[in-house]
Amino acid sequence: MSKKTKNVAFIGVCTALALVLSYIEAILPPLFAAVPGIKMGLPNIIIMFLLYRRGPAAAIAVSLIRMLLVSLLFGNMMALMYSLAGAMLSLIVMIILRRLNFLSTVGVSVAGGVSHNIGQILTAMLLLETAELGYYLVVLTITGTVSGMLIGLCGAALIKHIPNKI
């Protein structure tokens, strides 16, 4: 099997894993019923792994494909817009911090989680034409930090225990 074929297969498996994690996250009860929109970001475990093992192109590809599939299967176009805004800002921040190489995997993940929330809130503020949504960033920064830590720890474990030769 050629290297290109192996790479395509590997990206396909990672996309499938991220999609399964998205589904698991969708069927789990809300973490905080009183605070809408909070998710753990389980698929980002795969994105973190790819960012560190295969580089930005693979992480971006899997992230975009997963978001498109999730919106087709479980969501709608508005959900896709919010997801794209959050994910793209998050990926840009994580790619930059990864290249600077002064934060751990957990630090990069926390920055990504918080950036994701900022991207979504800014998009909502623009689309709904209301600045008051900015106050929600306080709650989302806290939850983004906690979930970013958990995702970063899981991603670090995958990076450590799965060989680079795959």
What pLDDT digit, counting tens, does each position of 124-153 carry? Answer: 999 998 999 888 899 999 999 999 999 999
Q: Domain residue spans in the chain?
A: 3-161
pLDDT, the chain, mean: 91
Beta-carbon contacts of 19 under 8 Å, excluding residues fewer than 6 positions away, are 43, 66, 69, 70
C-beta neighbour count of 33 within 10 angstroms: 8
Task: Give 111: exposed, middle or buried? Use CB within 10 Å, 0-12, 13-18, 19+.
Answer: buried
Instruction: Give the integer Cα–Cα distance in Å for 161 and 151.
Output: 15
pLDDT tens for 40-76 read: 899 999 999 999 999 999 999 999 999 999 999 887 8
Residue 35 has pLDDT above 60, yes or no: yes
Topology of 3-161 in CATH?
Answer: Arp2/3 complex 21 kDa subunit ARPC3 (1.10.1760)
Supply the pLDDT for residue 166: 67
Supply the pLDDT for residue 57: 96
Instruction: Give the integer Cα–Cα distance in Å for 6 and 23.
Output: 26
Reading the block at residue 133, the tokens are 């949504």
Residue 115 has pLDDT above 60, yes or no: yes
Percent of the chain beyond pLDDT 90? 73
The model's pTM? 0.92
Percent of the chain beyond pLDDT 70? 95
